[in-house]
Amino acid sequence: MASLNVGNLGEYLREQRRAAQLSLRQLADATGVSNPYLSQIERGLRKPSADVLQQVAKALRISAETLYVRAGILDEREREELETRAVILADPSINERQKNVLLQIYDSFRRENGFVPGPDADVHADADDDADGDAGPRKDERPRKDTGPRKGDDAGADAAEDQDPHS
């Protein structure tokens, strides 16, 4: 079998496995992937799927995104974006609404700098907007400046008449 061009994925996996002090057989048991298949990946003879890489990353306690980049599944920018999102979403010190707001701000800065938000950009943005009723304007709405009563707005006109301008 000819060696496939999968970067230095196999070498990297071997280093990570050895650093974790796991034999190939132990890694196979931990991942549910056969020993011979893992050996072929390490030698650069097989290109693993994203699912296999996910299982290997989990067993080695390393970033799956790093493996995806080394295997040519993700480019470096996508990996950095995914890792940033993962850190925000995993932070236990902030609540879901705050996480959503941070992700929206992150996306707006990326758009401003010419990057298109990634595939998961909108997954969490609307999920909890109505959960606590205090999520603020939706991302597709602009906040309305209150400029007083509008034509045809009787409730606003009544409220403006009831207020003392000198208070």
Per-residue pLDDT tens over the stretch 118-142? 554 444 434 334 334 444 444 444 4
Residue 34 has pLDDT above 70, yes or no: yes
Kindly report, residue by residue over 48-106, the tens digit of the pLDDT.
999 999 999 999 988 888 888 888 888 777 777 877 888 888 888 999 999 999 999 98
Q: pTM (2 decimals)?
A: 0.48
Residue 108 pLDDT greater than 60, yes or no: yes
Do the Cβ atoms of 111 and 117 come closer than 8 Å? yes
Tens-place pLDDT, residues 141-166: 444 444 444 444 444 444 444 455 55
